[in-house]
Structure 1
Amino acid sequence: MTWIRLKVAPYKNNLAFILNIETAMDLKMEVQLQCMDKELKKRVMFKNTQALLNKMLKETIEEDQINVVLIPRFCYSKQDRDIPLNKHRRHNRGTHIHSQQLFSPFKAKDKTGQDSWKTEYSDLGEVLEYRYNGLVFDPSGFLLYSVTWKDIHHIDIYPSVREMEPFLKCVSISKDVKTRLLRNTYGRELKAGDHVKVLPTQEPSLSPDDTMITRGDRTGTTEEVYPTFCSMRLDMDTPGLAETIEINNRYIRKFLKTGDVVSVNGGSHAGYIGHVVVVNEAEGILTISNLKAQPDTVYVNLHQVEFASWTHPFAAVPAPHQAEDMRDFGTLHYENLPAVVIHGPLKGHSGIVKTVNLNEKTLIELRDHLYRSRKLEEVMLDKLAFEL
């Protein structure tokens, strides 16, 4: 995972790039090493203040720490005006959220004086970071920030080219990574003639002749693309809808992900239909599998693949099988089904249903890349959409 959106003020819904993830165990060992030497204790190795270190020495570290870089919100002032507001001033908080700007030591010198910030250098004399008003910036002026899993939105983030372009100046992100990310972002931008898929939604389309798009995975081709919506010509075998609709850009996508049913339209494997099992964006290669075909696995370029028109849509909860085992209280038919969470804090996550109890609480094994390993989560049955 690379991009996230934050849930904490003043950076709510702001875009951030993950630099690294420190596990709780690594943080505990780091704090213990720092406490062994008084000089080391004064030098906090991760991007936090000394007050936070003292707090961590007294409490058990139980959460992973995600180190990110983002465009800061602050003002040049001798007083720290970036401290979170207390509950008595919450009604005025909107006026205290500063605009986005990169830190500049020259502006800080002009507005607050020579000694208003501190600079840390490497052994070779290169600037490592700036510290100003309790904030830490990299040499290019971007904010170095630390959050936990509960501070971010747990959905896949695919920023637009416009959102990503400011990060091209960030020295904390390597040049190779920025080149790859920008190339992939340009590839996802909608253009006229793109073959796209409709996402599962209950939102109405923009066309007055169309009622509601209630199921996803319908496919079609974009005819005209505007900043917020596009005109889309649906595939001919899509039943029950007009041939052309207008739909919000948020509810369609053209890039592929694991689990999509696709067809190969070029190369030596033209005509092959199967499921995407691996997406290698760095090399632009897809791994497609179909156990009923020969060969059962093929490797093709991204530009040679399009969504298969016979893809089954997201559906309601499937009906029980006739040979259902009654000892499982009518839940056997849910087990091992792929599903997507459509409501609640885990919205957007996908996984495999393991068990369902009498209260319709399911244990779903998440397979998202947010987690380093597969993780079981408890989700109510009515908050799931099943992939048939």
Structure 2
Amino acid sequence: MAGNTFGQLFRITTFGESHGEAIGVIIDGCPPNVEIDLEFIQGELDKRKPGQSKITTQRKESDTAKILSGVFGGKSTGTPIAMVIPNEDQRSKDYDHNKDIFRPSHADFTYQAKYGNRDYRGGGRSSARETAARVAAGAVARLFLKQKGIEIFAHVSSAGAIDAPNVPSRNLAELLEIRESNIVRCADPATANEMIELIDGVRKQGDTIGGKISCIIRNCPVGLGEPVFDKLHADLGKAMLSINAVHGFEYGSGFAGSEMRGSEHNDIFIAPEGDAPVSTLTNFSGGIQGGISNGMDIMFRVAFKPIATIMQSQQTIDKDGNAAEIKGKGRHDPCVVPRAVVIVEAMAALVIADHLLRQEAISL
């Protein structure tokens, strides 16, 4: 199976299955002398791990990461960093019912058709459990970006048809504190309560619901992005669309921009005073113009579909093409977005870290 590696200079390769011994990641290209804060890495993993609340899957995993190489004296050495996260609470018997049956909207059919063999236990390699390895790697990337003053913040901006108001332009640490004060990870407390009520109601019906996550990258330097095919927003889009259950990506004004006129949409430059950086009056470009960062906040949104496993009977087919019926079993999220916030941040960090190194290589 190809396609397990992401990035060029800051490159990661993930491995493992949902119900195997462990999952893990190898980070190649992390610069030396980055402070590797294990407490921070574990804190990021804790935001993604299952069993956090009534609106997440009740699978119990500590998601404790162990570093096997690439770190000495608390700092990266510049050699490959290998991390492993053991699987501790698999219930493979919960998936015996779909050994020979394809779950609707899952990867069961396509994996079987492509490889002729699949790990049906929790989806195997197609499981969202793989994203824990990305979060661990993304935490290392964020520690590298922290040295450069680059901040990344994401939150749940919608659940179903419930939309949060735009996050005000304020200190990201304050927004983080608000976000982590509620189980849905929305930076608007009033909207968070509505979202929690909706998701819990859907859960009780044995159904699932989707949502959106909005992300801000602040203090990103001008010049990141490689035209023509490696535009910064193109790589961010690929990163986000590689996350399980993601069905849409937009940056800046997004699809709404197609309804505007150029006179409305153009970001007018403001003449800088003294040592102030170049800025624009509006930010419909989402901090990226011509595929290159312009110094403004990079802003994008990611849309997640409803989780495909529902606790209701559905029509499907078996491996021989015969009509069949299936009903979800086991422990599953009624809505993925509360746990996916940190995944979005991790993938954003990996993209920015990679492009930062590529830009620094140009400047050498």
TM (normalized to structure 1)? 0.22
Which has a greater percent of strand?
Answer: 1
Which has a greater percent of helix?
Answer: 2
TM (normalized to structure 2)? 0.23
Of structures 1 and 2, the larger Rg is shown by: 1
